[in-house]
Amino acid sequence: MELKELAERECVELLASQVIGRVAVVVEDRANVFPVNYVLDNGYIVFRTDEGTKLDAARAGAVVTFEVDKSDPLYHTGWSVMVTGRLEAVTDPHELRRVRALPVRAWGRNGQQWLRMPITSISGRRINAAPILT
C-alpha cells in the first residue's frame, strides 16, 4: 500500500465532489460525530440541522472537524479529507435567502437551521494499492 498526502487543491476538489460527510463536535471532552448532507459554497461547508448538538456548537463558535472520504474495499484504495474550522449559524436574512437556494437537504428531520464552516485548514490522504508483482 502507498499512502500519499494530498495537495490542498486536490483536497478541495474531492470535498466538492461529495454530498455526504461527517462533522465531529466535542462536548464535555467527548467527540460526537454526525453524518450530514452538505455543499461546498465559496470556501464554506454548508449544511442544515435542527436544534441540538451541532446548532449549540455553532452558537458557541466551536471549532469542529469535518471529514469526507471514499473507498473501494475490493481494491483497498481510497481517500480521506479532513477540514477544521469554526462552526457558525447562518442568521443574516440576506445570507439565509442565498443559502436556502443551495442544493442541500437535511439529514433526517426538517433541518430548519443552516450552518456553515469556513475551511480554516484542510488535509487529505490517498491510499493506493501496491502493484501486484508477478
Q: Which residues contact 17 (CB under 8 A, 6 or more apart)?
A: none
pLDDT per position as a tens digit, 73-94 = 888 899 999 999 999 999 999 9
Residue that is written with C-alpha cell 443559502 in the block: 99
pLDDT per position as a tens digit, 23-61 = 999 989 999 999 999 999 999 999 999 889 999 999 999
In CATH terms, the fold of domain 2-128 is Pnp Oxidase; Chain A (2.30.110)
What is the phi/psi pair of residue 29, to 5°? 65, 20
Rounded Cα–Cα distance for residues 125 and 79 (Å): 6
Rounded Cα–Cα distance for residues 133 and 129 (Å): 12
Residue that is written with C-alpha cell 480554516 in the block: 120
- Domain borders along the chain are 2-128
> Are the C-beta atoms of 57 and 64 separated by less than 8 Å?
yes
Tell me the whole-structure pTM to 2 decimals. Answer: 0.88
Which pLDDT score is estimated for 134?
57
